[in-house]
Structure 1
Amino acid sequence: MSAPLPDTVPVIQTFGLSKVYSPGSEAEVVALKGVDMRVGRGDFVAIMGPSGSGKSTLMNLIGCLDTPSTGSYLCDGIDVSTLDAEELAILRREKIGFVFQGFNLLPRMSALENVAMPLGYAQVPVPERAARAQEALAAVGLAERAGHKPSELSGGQQQRVAIARALINKPPILLADEPTGALDSKTGEEILSLFKRLRDDDHTVILITHDPEVAAHADRILVMRDGELHEEPGSGRRDSGFGGATP
């Protein structure tokens, strides 16, 4: 995979991105309609909308977990449509860190082992894995909990472990799907503050949420309505722009 591109190149850029399920049949569903989107390095962007609005479909396309029916997507300057399955897997590993509502930690593994797990897929030498995992846990304030299993951690601590795992390969993009949905409001605020610190460290944070109060923590708010993407008036940070961009 190529080296990170200059800050002037968008980390996420889509052109006319559309997704149609079961096209031409009675069950046809148009989930996404011509989405143009441009997100710069170090942006904190919330994508919000109700169930069925298309935000999950957009998240899957941004995360390279699905392919569009039409349109194109450049991830850190790379046109994902030009990649084969193996290259896509490498791109996901190197460019995108995933954080989910349910934490998705392996219960029999310690926090350190959970965080280090992606390094095995990246063929990082075993001695280096523990050191990097410990560093990632320290970055989210959990250095002292490295030996604890998920059942020995609070919900907020488990989500911090999940964030550390997402960051272990130093991806430019952190894609968080309802990351505070299983947390109480105080713990949720702590996780959102952590995302802001990660943004300040030049990570690009994409937050998927249905909650306006959660979305308000982001620098930009994009709203999905019936498969179309709209930017909230007054939101915006740096020169990220929205739609109509050229690569």
Structure 2
Amino acid sequence: MSPAAYPDAGTATAVPVIETHGLGKVYSPGTEAEVVALKGVDVSIARGDFVAIMGPSGSGKSTLMNLIGCLDTPTHGSYLCDGIDVATLDPEELAVLRRDKIGFVFQGFNLLPRMSALENVAMPLGYAQVPVAERAERARQALAAVGLAERAGHRPSELSGGQQQRVAIARALINRPAILLADEPTGALDSKTGEEILALFKRLRDDNHTVVLITHDAEVAAHADRILVMRDGELHEEPGMGNRE
């Protein structure tokens, strides 16, 4: 399936951005080391949702994150990413979908130290074969969107932790993905800076981005509109939790 065949955000608003049916993952099946990490997960997340997936270590949240991010394949069940059944894609098509549909934000920022903020943000556009002049302009726009236009020429070592995470978010958004997948994005930040990053996620949600936040911290999860809790490989929605400001 070519990228041109992907549903367009303007024409497929009714299609969930994330939809799973009976999604499961078993490691080392049929052996003494067998681990059932995920058990029949059904979830639907719409465009513009801000969702937290919360759970302690070993609950299955990282496994679910890897499946949503197309970094791993399920043992059973199905996953539709922005309307595309990922099981129908060959490795090259899957790589294109992951590049175009999913933006990743990690706890450790993962910025290249010898590159400026602008160069770090523009880097994914090189893989997408976007012309050089357009890369720079789009990267400047992305940095402006996260409040760092004046820091474009700074290297990561010249930026605070919060600024580095903003650069990482701008990089994740540069291909205009359907999903922003953030794995413990405030874990390396002080509480005040963490609050600023969570406020940025809310603004992105208001701009119709879909934000999926992976966290073990209930206080962080409380910033989301929906909270999904992983327990022993099963997903539960917490009624009455989450908020929209």
Alignment gaps of 5+ in structure 2: none
CA distance in 2, matches of 1:219, 1:165: 24
Whether 2:222 is the aligned partner of 1:216: answer yes
Q: Tell me whether 1:205 sits opposite 2:211 in the alignment.
A: yes
- Residue equivalent to 1:13: 19
Does residue 176 of the first structure (1) align with residue 182 of the second (2)? yes
Q: 1:196 aligns to what?
A: 202
Residue 147 of structure 2 aligns to a residue whose secondary structure is coil
- Paired with 1:163 and 1:20, the residues of 2 have a C-alpha distance of 32
Matches within 5 A, 1:1-247: 1=3, 2=6, 3-4=8-9, 5-235=11-241
CA RMSD of aligned residues (A): 1.1
SS at match of 2:153: coil
TM-score norm. by structure 1 comes to 0.95
1:234 CA drift (Å): 1.5
Counterparts of 1:137 and 1:233, CA distance in 2:
36
1:80-107 CA deviation, whole Å, 9 max, x = no partner?
0000000000001111000000000000
- Measured at CA, do residues 231 and 203 of structure 1 come closer, stay the same or move farther in structure 2, by a change above 3 Å? same
Asked if structure 2 preserves the Cα contact closer than 8 Å seen for 1:43 and 1:237, the reply is no
Q: Which deviations, in whole Å up to 9, do the C-alpha atoms of 1:9-35 show, x marking residues without a partner?
A: 100000000000000001000000000
2:167 is matched by which residue type in structure 1? V
Deviation of the 1:235 alpha carbon = 3.9
Higher mean displacement: 228-237 or 162-171: 228-237
Give the AA of the match of 1:69: T
CA deviation after TM superposition for structure 1 residue 237, in Å: 8.3
**Aligned partner of residue 16 in structure 2, secondary structure:** coil
TM-score (norm 2): 0.95
Q: Which runs of 4+ in 1 moved over 6 A?
A: none
1:236 CA displacement: 7.0
The SS at the match of 1:65 is coil
1:6 positional shift: 1.9
1:83-134: per-residue Cα shift (whole Å, max 9, x none)? Answer: 0000000001111000000000000000000000000000000111101000
Once residues 242 and 183 of structure 2 are traced to their aligned partners in structure 1, the CA distance between those partners, rounded to angstroms, is 21
- What CA distance in whole angstroms lies between the structure 2 residues aligned with 1:21 and 1:33? 12
What secondary structure sits across from 2:36 in the alignment? strand
Deviation at 1:148? 0.2
Identity rate, percent: 85
Q: Which amino acid aligns with 2:152?
A: A
Q: How many residues align?
A: 238
Query: How far apart, CA to CA, are the structure 2 residues paired with 1:233 and 1:95?
Result: 29
Unaligned runs of 5+ in 1: 239-247
